[in-house]
Amino acid sequence: MLSKVKVIGFDADDTLWDNEPFYRQTEHKFCMLLKDFMDEETLNNELYKTEIGNLALYGYGIKAFTLSLIETAIRISKGNVTADIINQIIELGKQQLNEPVNLIDDVEKVLSSLKPHYKLIVATKGDLLDQEKKLQKSGLCNYFHHIEIMSDKGESNYSELIRHLDISPNEFLMVGNSLKSDIIPVLNLGGYGAFVPYHTTWQHEYVDESNVKNERFIRLNTLSDLRIHLKDFE
């Protein structure tokens, strides 16, 4: 099934390295700062509404997330949040930007085994500067022929990427932890998608796996399993 694949794209956050747990930690600290105004569950719901409302303006990434934290704090406190708390929220964003890059198990083994046989690329969403820094910290840059930091990951974005790579959709395999952003758009274009679940997922990215019905869909338990599916073509 994968014999025509020439290019393998990898999502970055929660596919190559840990990411979502840092957001959950920041959200909890944010809720503790505002506990006098609202309980944690309700506040998290209000924050999510703000984030979704801001996606079209700010896109993805920690800087956009921090702006949504500040906006939510002002809104739910009806403008009564103090400058000190706002400063602490800004510091939470800065701390998250400086978190270490912790690679997912066996990432380097997988990349090193595939690099001699395929063109490997990164295709990820997020803030350009932040993602570039994380890639540098990761030590993985030398494995990749091309790094694409995308404003979004819909069918049109992938279509443009595939055109830029000068390949057909059935020569492209996308690997990632988000069915919504990494897998389904590529499947719809005629490419292949290898889904690697991560233990926590932002609710905006959640899709029920049972709804994905496609012969080009591959479900991996770990990233290492990718080598099993590709070994006959190396």
Residue 126's pLDDT band (cuts 50, 70, 90):
confident
Catalogue all structural domains in the chain, each as residue range(s) with its CATH number: 7-17+101-233 (3.40.50.1000), 20-97 (1.10.150.240)
pLDDT value, residue 199? 84
Identity of the residue numbered 166: D
Give the residues across from 147 on adjacent strands.
122
- Please check whether residue 15 is in contact with residue 195, taking contact to mean a CB–CB distance below 8 angstroms: no
Residue 231 has pLDDT above 80, yes or no: no
pLDDT value, residue 215? 94
Closest CA to 103 of 171, 181, 19, 179: 19
Which tens digit of pLDDT belongs to each residue from 147-177? Answer: 999 989 999 999 999 999 999 999 999 999 9
Which tens digit of pLDDT belongs to each residue from 34-92? Answer: 999 999 999 999 999 999 999 999 999 999 999 999 999 999 999 999 999 999 999 99
pLDDT value, residue 232? 54
Q: What tokens appear for 86 in the block?
A: 């706002």
Residue 223's pLDDT band (cuts 50, 70, 90):
very high
What average pLDDT does the chain have?
Answer: 94
Residue 3 has pLDDT above 90, yes or no: no
pLDDT value, residue 202? 77
Residue 233 has pLDDT above 80, yes or no: no
